[in-house]
Amino acid sequence: NMPDSAISINSDTDSEISSRKYNSLKDDTLTISTTISSTESASYDNDNNFEDLDRLIHERHIKVTNCEANFEDSEPDQSKLKTLLSLLKNLIGVKDIVSFIGDSDDPLERMFATIRWWYSKDLKYVKGKLIKPYNSILGEQFICHWNVPAPKFDKNGHFINNAEPNNKNYLVTCLNEQICHHPPVSAFHYNCEEAGVSAYGIDQIAARFTGTSRDNEEYLLTHPVASVQGWLKASLYITVGESCIVTCPKTKLKAILEYKDERWIGKPKFAIEGKIFKYDPTNDDIKKLKSVDDKDVVAEIYGSWRGKVHATRLDTNKTNLLVDLNELAPIPKIVKPIATQGPLESRRVWQPVSTALFQRDYSKATKEKIAIEDRQRRLAAEAKANKEEFDPVYFKLPVVDGRPELKDKAYQVLQSGNF
């Protein structure tokens, strides 16, 4: 699936907003019902219809992820920018979690920052509604960006949690492409040039952070196992099992973040436990917490991946709040209008289906979905008959060791600012 993640920041969300039930997810479709034709797909392709769909997708994303903002502007780009700015006015610490991973001079703090991002990346599943995404087609692309404030650190390189806002902004870009359909695999690349940090990987395999400002210091993060629960009560939620392993060969620090098993009876606790320890990158086979030697441990992690996560540095025996998911909110993605998107960009590909869904014309949505899938099967059959290999637009094939490489075309898009 195309990643639809949101960069997480610390927001001034009061308890009333934090405890809000998600019973207001009905979309206002009166406007779109009167302005978007419900006839054949070809009639959708005009700028006014695209603008209506841009607005509805944006508002829907805000409701689903529980972002609070004002969307009165008529122009999509201007509206999204003002939405972001209005949200930033209410921030505590006004920090972006991914952009300051490489900022601290303390290697342990950089590991903390990576782990902080790891737990914040699933914020939309903590705060928002669990929704099934579209099944991406081969070659499908999703490009977006965020404008976020720069973080602050004290003289010891420790992150200042409630720093005053500053006027410096970072640009975080996101580029995704479906590079294989059987099995479905997406390659992704995040980048923050100002902070010298990039993240890249293959969906469902692993993610990597590279800090170019730290002589290409790299962090490898493996995915745990997730499942959907709550079917009997019709109240779906995600549970996570096993562990995430974070390694940084350059600093010789490793973390094992273990997700505790849930009981069959009672409410889920979403508990986590972890350790950061020194390791030998050339001779490493440690995969379980119980296998970690106590003398190598430099920090301990504990808490809930849906709530508060704490970290204790053993050199100072001081425990700090690493991240509180209750006080975070996703910043809406800034995506260019559908009318200016390429034919393989996600919102353009699925525009007929999305339009029908917003109109609550589910029969039409099903027909449009089948039409898209049939076209993909036809193209795949033609390519096979002609012995043509699929060649992604933005990523090189093959992908070695879960490390997708960008093509020149990708760098051209990112440098042009046309995203």
For each of the chain's 419 residues, which pLDDT tens digit applies?
A: 444 433 332 333 333 333 333 333 333 333 333 334 333 444 445 556 677 788 877 777 666 555 443 333 333 334 333 333 333 333 223 344 444 455 567 899 889 989 998 898 888 778 777 777 788 899 999 999 988 876 665 655 555 555 555 667 788 899 999 999 888 889 999 888 887 888 888 876 555 545 544 567 888 888 888 888 887 777 788 888 899 999 999 999 999 999 998 877 778 889 999 999 999 999 999 999 999 999 999 999 999 999 999 999 999 999 999 988 888 777 788 999 999 999 999 999 999 999 999 999 999 999 999 999 999 999 999 999 999 999 999 999 998 877 899 999 999 998 887 77
Q: Give, in degrees to the nearest 5, the angle at Cα 270 between 264 and 275.
A: 120
In terms of Cβ atoms closer than 10 Å to its own Cβ (0-12, 13-18, 19+), residue 278 is middle
The total of other beta-carbon atoms located within 10 Å of residue 24's CB is 7
Q: Which of 40, 148, 43, 140 is nearest to 94 (CA)?
A: 148
Task: Tell me the CA distances in angstroms from 277 to 52, 196, 245, 263, one per residue in order.
Answer: 52, 25, 12, 29
Q: What is the pLDDT of residues 197-248, one digit of tens each?
A: 888 888 765 555 455 445 678 888 888 888 888 877 777 888 888 999 999 9
Residue 282 is part of a domain; what is its CATH number?
2.40.160.120
Mention every residue, 6+ apart, whose C-beta is less than 8 A from residue 320.
Answer: 310, 311, 312, 313
- For the chain, give the longest Cα–Cα distance: 69
| Domain coverage including residue 165 | 91-330
Within a domain: residue 278?
Answer: yes
Residue 247 lies in a domain: yes
Per the domain annotation, does 372 fall within a domain?
no
Sign of the alpha-carbon torsion through 7, 12, 15, 17: negative
pLDDT at 317: 93
The answer to whether residue 137 is domain-embedded is: yes
pLDDT per position as a tens digit, 172-184: 899 999 999 888 8
Q: Which amino acid is at 187?
A: A
Number of structural domains (the chain) is 1
Question: Would residue 246 count as lying in a domain?
Answer: yes
Each residue of 44-53: b (16+ CB within 10 Å) or e? Answer: beeeebbbbb
User: What's the confidence (pLDDT) of residue 254?
Assistant: 97
**pLDDT attached to residue 203:** 76
C-alpha of 244 from chain center:
16
Answer yes or no: is 52 within a domain.
no
What's the CA gap between 348 and 328, in Å, rounded? 30
Do 110 and 214 touch, CB atoms closer than 8 A? yes
Residue 51 located in a structural domain: no
Closest by alpha carbon to 180, among 379, 391, 369, 403? 391
Angstrom distance (rounded) from CA 132 to CA 236: 11
Q: Enter the pTM of the model.
A: 0.71
- Tell me, yes or no, whether 35 lies in a domain: no
Q: From edge to edge, which strands make up the β-sheet containing 8-11?
A: 91-96, 8-11, 328-330
